[in-house]
């Protein structure tokens, strides 16, 4: 595990499926400020919140919560990455919705229209967040700081 926190949030948005074009629900995992990140074998406190992507491993308790709230978000192999990670799938056709398109491309469901950053205030209304007051641990290959409010 390389990230941990006493709490987390599940962000919800929707976007057109890259495969079938139907609108589908999407989720992302968000950590609050003061979560911890493993850097060179030392846990460091992060002052800003963060959006996680390319999540390779989740603790059992987080998996249970995600499965209950978001059945379209599950562990699956990625052709683009060559490894499995927790990713969204279209609720209509089942096609994977790769994290790169959702978190790293301008205009992605969890990025602002003009930069590779988490949603700006202007786009925040399109994303709902459910705070989960339970311990979070995961291994994430991608990590993007949340801009200060």
pLDDT at 117: 44
Domain that holds residue 38: 3-145
Is a pLDDT exceeding 90 seen at residue 32? yes
What residue ranges in the chain does DSSP mark as E strands?
3-5, 8-16, 23-31, 36-39, 42-45, 50-58, 73-78, 83-89, 96-97, 128-132, 136-145
pTM: 0.86
Q: What is the DSSP letter of 88?
A: E
Q: Considering its fold, how many domains does the chain have in total?
A: 1
Q: What percent of the chain has pLDDT over 70?
A: 89
Q: Which of 99, 59, 91 is nearest to 72 (CA)?
A: 91
Between the CA of residue 95 and those of 16, 77, 87, 88, 111, what are the distances in Å?
12, 12, 10, 9, 21
| 85-124 confidence digits (pLDDT tens) | 999 999 999 999 998 888 877 777 887 554 444 444 444 4
pLDDT at 149: 54
């Amino acid at each position: 595990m390389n990230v941990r926190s006493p709490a987390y949030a599940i962000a919800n948005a929707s976007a057109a499926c890259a495969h079938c074009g139907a609108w589908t629900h999407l989720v992302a995992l968000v950590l609050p400020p003061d979560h911890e990140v493993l850097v060179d074998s030392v846990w460091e406190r992060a002052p800003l919140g963060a959006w996680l992507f390319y999540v390779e491993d989740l603790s059992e308790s987080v998996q249970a919560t995600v499965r209950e709230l978001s059945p379209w978000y599950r562990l699956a192999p990625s052709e683009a990455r060559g490894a499995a990670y927790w990713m969204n799938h279209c609720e209509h056709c089942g096609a994977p919705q790769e994290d790169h398109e959702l978190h790293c491309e301008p205009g992605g469901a969890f990025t602002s229209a003009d930069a590779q950053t988490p949603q700006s205030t202007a786009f925040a209304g399109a994303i709902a967040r459910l705070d989960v007051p339970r311990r979070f641990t995961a291994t994430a290959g991608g990590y993007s700081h949340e801009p200060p409010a």
